[in-house]
């Protein structure tokens, strides 16, 4: 697979907030443009190497979009923009300097398990969604 032509979201597979974000994307992406992989998976770790990110890197969403590599708030906002429709409006927050956006993102990431909870293992997609998840 040539990841330079894909829209791949790497996420923390045991985080309830992250799994909710993935479900949010899936429901708003009827053309199935976005593909997903858990950061904890073997493929997720290989994609992090591909993206030149230091391991382990499980405290951020990572967005690989047609050769671009985005993390943290930049990744989340660009995913929303790429969903189109009303969701692209949130991309206006990209005008805020990344160090400010990422400070809020990092606080949320540090506290995500305490606030939103954690699963014992990574999410297992239903049969209908399996083609959206990379293995």
What is the total count of domains within the chain? Answer: 1
Residue 129 resides in a domain: no
Residue 108 resides in a domain: yes
Residue 133 resides in a domain: no
How far apart CA 126 and CA 23 sit, in angstroms, is 12
Residue 134 resides in a domain: no
pLDDT in tens, the chain (135 residues): 556 668 999 998 888 899 899 999 999 998 899 999 988 888 888 888 877 666 555 678 999 998 788 999 999 999 999 998 899 899 999 999 999 999 999 999 899 888 888 877 666 667 677 778 887
How far apart CA 16 and CA 11 sit, in angstroms, is 11
CATH number where 83 lies: 3.40.30
Domain that holds residue 8: 3-123
CA atoms within 13 A on the CB side of 25: 29
For the entire predicted model, the pTM comes to: 0.86
Residue 63 resides in a domain: yes
């Amino acid at each position: 697979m040539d990841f330079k032509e894909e829209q791949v979201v790497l996420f923390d597979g045991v985080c309830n907030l992250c799994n909710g974000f993935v479900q949010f994307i899936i429901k708003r992406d009827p053309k199935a443009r976005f593909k997903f992989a858990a950061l904890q998976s073997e493929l997720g770790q290989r994609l992090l190497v591909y993206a030149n990110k230091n391991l382990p890197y499980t405290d951020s969403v990572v967005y690989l979009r047609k050769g671009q590599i985005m993390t943290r708030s930049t990744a989340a906002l660009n995913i929303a923009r790429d969903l189109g429709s009303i969701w692209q409006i949130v991309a206006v927050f990209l005008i805020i300097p990344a160090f400010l956006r990422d400070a809020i993102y990092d606080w949320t990431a540090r506290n995500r398990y305490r606030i939103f909870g954690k699963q014992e293992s990574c999410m297992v997609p239903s049969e209908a969604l399996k083609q959206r998840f990379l293995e």
